[in-house]
Chains A and B, each alone.
Chain A
């Protein structure tokens, strides 16, 4: 695919700009993409390379160079073989295991896209027995706090007992899980 701007070089970079007027997508070569560097939040860096640029786009925070070179290039997903570069190039993840493999690299990106790194929604019952219990405890704790604030101590006591029961259940299921639950 050729670059949408200069129509000469091979396009390596995909840009999506979202503004109140709508969004547009572009496939760009390295040189043309550099012109869009202004909104990548990296002012002052002149000779942008693809890597730097995509780090900008994908929201990675600046890291020490040495760590970057050792940690990133060799990393590949053991399940589907995807490398970090593949991801950077396509913007698509290869499989579920990739998320685990590139967890560290993905974290800043997720913060930038979603403003958060931590899921707090639905949990599949089948794959997450312990998770479900842990989630229930978290929900109950929130309720407990709210009840205490409203000075509804009877309710609070009931929540406290429920939490205790669940925590014991968790401890029985998995000893180590109890540590997390107690946090």
Chain B
């Protein structure tokens, strides 16, 4: 896949595409934080040390490719335009932290875009693997293979008692963060989100708004992640999260059923209205699109609307991100109203493509 595609495509094979329980779970991600032994962590390393880390990472690049069985793009953030960097950040293939100082920071991104290895982020390496739906097993297996391939050649910062040593003590031990993105309109409309979130917290799982960047639950998108990384095995952490998420999914489905039973007509109307606005509006805000897409997606999942495939909703979300739009138009200085107009154009274009895919 050409690198250019990274910035211009509005589809990610791991986001909102069909998978296990993908009526509720949009994607799963597992990341492992790792550091090379003895070298200071990136926040305390000087340029020379950052360069050393970069070189060490480069030295195992071929091993990583072999472990995953795919070609990777090695993308130095230094060599990108500001807009391109931000598009990668919007797609969560790099982190915001890396955009502040880009020297010797890079991302190795696999051909299918499901693996992104960040070099000199918060830690020397962050191995992130993604999958659609609720599936932590495959990403964890991939991340572990990569980890094994790297540590076969290079020494990692590890302590017998404390496990893998990380820049932030909150990642210490396994260095493992697992995350599942959930679409929970049913629980939100029936006002059950808070009780779900507080129950999950007792299991060491954080459930928080996970729509666009502003950390608000626009469109009722939420992220469930593990809070602890030390004192538990990797398998144990993943099991707890998967178990809790499955429970949340069951609740969400029940809530949707109840909605359908008690207010089907109102819901149907709201869903089609949302679809209508997406089809015909001439100016759309980012948050607005998230809310509308959320309704359309709920409508598709409940069988109230079949104009587009459910996976198309993720395309709409990705195509309406501001940096993506700016980069596509090649204009860094688009004003917010211009972006909103451009966004409406993009949304109509994606919808047209989706309808065509549906009939083809």
Which residues of A are interface residues toward B (Cβ below 8 A)?
Answer: 18, 20-23, 79-80, 82, 90-97, 99-100, 103, 106, 109-110, 113-128, 131
Q: B209 to chain A: which residues have CB within 8 Å?
A: 22
> Quick one: closest A residue to B174, CB to CB?
A121
- The answer to whether A99 touches B159, judged by C-beta atoms less than 8 angstroms apart, is yes
B231 lies within 8 A of A114 (CB): yes
- Evaluate contact between B231 and A118: CB separation under 8 angstroms: yes
Q: Is A116 a contact partner of B231 (Cβ separation < 8 A)? A: yes
8 A Cβ contacts from B223-264 to A: 227-234, 237
Chain B 83-100 interface residues, beta-carbon cutoff 8 Å to A: none
Q: Cα distance A166–B80 when bound, in Å?
A: 52
Q: Which residues of A contact B165 (CB under 8 A)?
A: 93, 96, 99
Q: Is B48 an interface residue (CB 8 A)?
A: no
For A96, list chain B residues within 8 Å (CB).
35, 37-38, 157-159, 165
Give chain A residues whose Cβ lies under 8 Å from the Cβ of B206: 18, 23
Chain A residue nearest in CB terms to B170: A113
Tell me, yes or no, whether B337 is within 8 Å of chain A by CB.
Answer: no
- Is the Cβ of B194 less than 8 Å from the Cβ of A120? no
Structural contact, A92 and B38, CB atoms closer than 8 A: no
Distance from B232 Cβ to chain A, minimum over Cβ atoms (Å)? 7
CB-nearest residue of chain A to B197: A20
Cα-based distance from A51 to B286 in the complex (angstroms): 43
Residues of chain A contacted by B43 (CB below 8 angstroms): 90, 92, 94
A117-B230 in contact (CB<8A): yes
Residue in A18, A95, A106, A122 whose CB lies within 8 Å of B169: A106
Q: Do B234 and A91 have beta carbons less than 8 Å apart?
A: no
Contact in complex: A92, B158 (CB < 8 Å): no
- Write out the residue numbers on chain B whose beta carbons fall within 8 Å of the beta carbon of A94: 40-41, 43-44
